[in-house]
Structure formats: C-alpha cells, structure tokens
C-alpha cells in the first residue's frame, strides 16, 4: 500500500523532513532511488540531458561502490547525489546502531548533505539522530514505477496528475522499475517542459 501523492495534512506532522520545496516558480525536482546501476542509470542520464534537466540520485552505497564510474558521471553532468544507506536498510526493521552504521558507511563514500530513507521507512529516533547531520528528503509525488502490478502508462499518469511547482518526484533507476520508469520519465519531462517548467537538482542551500 502506498500513496502517489503525499497528503498535505501529513507534512506539518513531520516538518523536520523535506517533502517538497514550495515555490511560485515553474520548477520541479526529479529524484531517483536505488542506483546507480549500468543497466538503467546511463539511460536515465541520457533522457535528462535531452531536456537539460538536473536530477538528484539517492544512491545505495553498495551500488555506488560497485560502479564508481557512474557516480562520477552523475556528478560530472551536474546532478546531485544523496545517501540511501549502504545496503538499502528498512529503518522500521533495523536497530538504531545498525541503521546509523549503514548510513555512515554510505556517507563515507558519498559525502553528501542529503539522505532519503529506503521505502520512506524511518523511526522517529533515527530521524532525530540523522537530522543533526543531514537533510532528510522525502517526496511529494511517488510515481509507483516499482509496482509491478501497474502499467507504464499508469505510472506516467500518477506523475502528471499530482506534480506541481516545487514537487519532489520519485522514480527508480533499478531493474525492477526499469520498464515503467523509462516509459514514464521522458513523457513526464516532455509534458512539463512544454508547460515551461525546468527541472533542478536538490541542493542543501535551497532548503529552508
């Protein structure tokens, strides 16, 4: 069970997490979880380049360690990277010590000021420990590209219906999501590009 649009009522209840970046400008923030992997991430980078779009890649540390050339390419092309733990830990099922150790192992590799908890699942005590050292980035719109029970077009419609100025949108550069994501992403970018939107990476300095 997941929601494609984060309820507005939820955001004030966890205001120390970043759900969107409110603005009146035509700008959105496209993010990618779980990579980088050679089977998917290079295709994402080529699509982004077509629209002069900058994204934010929340990298699993193990993938980044296995594919350092992709991490270098992401940064060289002007995108941002975020910590997604080293081994994709589910915070709800992980002790405080193990979770923070896994975060730090990824952090030693990436040195980023951004973090997104895998599955969006994180305990309040984990939030309290991590928010002192990083900005915890959640999302406003979830594409659902990881859901093997929906069609590529449904994935696209999830984003077109809910995205707006300042939205943080989640896609996945993973094998599981590949077919739906590669269908939805270019069509999403084209739609909003035609409406005059630009797509920027999330930078810590842009967060209030």
Q: Which residues are catalytically annotated?
A: 33, 172
Report the distance separating Cα 22 and Cα 66, nearest Å: 36
CA distances from 60 to 90, 102, 142, 180, 181 (A): 12, 10, 18, 20, 18
Task: Specify whether the CB–CB gap between 5 and 139 falls below 8 A.
Answer: no
CA–centroid distance for 82 within its chain? 8
User: Rounded to whole angstroms, what are the CA distances from 123 to 57, 88, 89, 127?
Assistant: 23, 15, 12, 6
């Amino acid at each position: 069970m997941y929601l494609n649009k984060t309820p507005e009522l939820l955001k004030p209840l966890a205001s120390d997490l970043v759900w969107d970046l409110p603005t009146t400008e035509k700008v959105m923030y496209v993010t990618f979880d779980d990579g980088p992997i050679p089977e998917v991430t290079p295709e994402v980078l080529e699509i982004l380049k077509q629209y002069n779009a900058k994204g934010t890649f929340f990298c699993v540390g193990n993938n980044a360690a296995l594919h350092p050339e992709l991490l270098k390419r992401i940064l060289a092309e002007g995108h941002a990277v975020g910590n997604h733990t080293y081994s994709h830990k589910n915070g709800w099922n992980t002790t405080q010590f193990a979770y923070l150790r896994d975060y730090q192992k990824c952090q030693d590799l990436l040195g980023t000021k951004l973090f997104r908890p895998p599955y969006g699942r994180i305990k309040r005590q984990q939030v309290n420990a991590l928010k002192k050292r990083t900005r915890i980035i959640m999302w406003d719109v979830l594409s659902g590209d990881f859901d093997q029970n929906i069609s590529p077009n449904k994935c696209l419609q999830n984003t077109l219906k809910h995205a707006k100025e300042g939205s943080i949108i989640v896609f996945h550069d993973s094998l599981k999501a590949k077919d739906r994501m590669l269908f939805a992403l270019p069509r999403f970018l084209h739609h909003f590009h035609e409406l005059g939107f630009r797509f920027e990476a999330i930078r810590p300095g842009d967060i209030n």
